[in-house]
């Protein structure tokens, strides 16, 4: 059984109109990378997206399923966090894995990808991804 997801497919569709562009910065032991996702034309099923210059089609249900985690390994709490984009009321998902814990902060007013992700192994944060820009909505 899976824990409830933070958003429905319809909420993600409404929150990711054509032109929405999300920039994410990821920092790990390998360095820092930046990725950009832009939602292009969409329909009831999904949308064409540009992922760092590569185009592809994603379904709203597929995006929803990315936030589907086993209920027995997932703790969901409410938390307010502050990032470079501002302060957000979030649903925080802590997911226990064999390798450690993954934490996902989903901003309640930004349906779609998490605003922040941390991966922890051996009690240390080994990677962090944070949305640094969210435009076009």
Measured CA to CA, the distance from residue 76 to residue 128 in angstroms comes to 19
First CA to last CA distance, the chain: 34
> Nearest CA to 116 among 104, 102, 108?
104
Name the pTM for this structure. Answer: 0.94
Residues 6+ apart with CB under 8 A from 72: 1
For residue 137, the model assigns a pLDDT of 56
Residue 98 in any domain: the answer is: yes
Give the pLDDT confidence of 15-25 residue by residue, as tens digits: 999 999 999 99
Residue 93 in any domain: the answer is: yes
Residue 83 in any domain: the answer is: yes
* 29-34 mean pLDDT: 96
Is-contact 38 87, C-beta < 8 A? Answer: no
Residue 117 in any domain: the answer is: yes
Give the pLDDT confidence of 33-88 residue by residue, as tens digits: 999 999 999 999 999 999 999 999 999 999 999 999 999 999 999 999 999 899 99
Residue 86 in any domain: the answer is: yes
Q: Which CATH number is 118's domain given?
A: 2.40.360.20
């Amino acid at each position: 059984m899976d824990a409830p997801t933070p958003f429905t497919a319809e909420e993600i569709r409404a929150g990711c109109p054509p032109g929405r562009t999300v920039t994410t910065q990821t920092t790990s032991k390998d360095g820092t990378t930046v990725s950009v996702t832009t939602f292009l034309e969409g329909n009831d099923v999904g949308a064409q997206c540009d992922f760092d210059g590569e185009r592809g089609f994603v379904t709203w249900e597929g995006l929803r399923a990315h936030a589907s985690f086993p209920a027995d390994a997932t703790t969901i709490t409410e938390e307010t966090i502050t990032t470079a984009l501002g302060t957000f009321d979030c649903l925080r998902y802590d997911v226990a894995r064999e390798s450690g814990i993954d934490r996902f902060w989903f901003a309640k007013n930004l349906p779609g990808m998490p605003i922040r992700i941390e991966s922890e192994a051996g009690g240390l944060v080994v990677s962090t991804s944070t949305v640094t820009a969210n435009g076009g909505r």
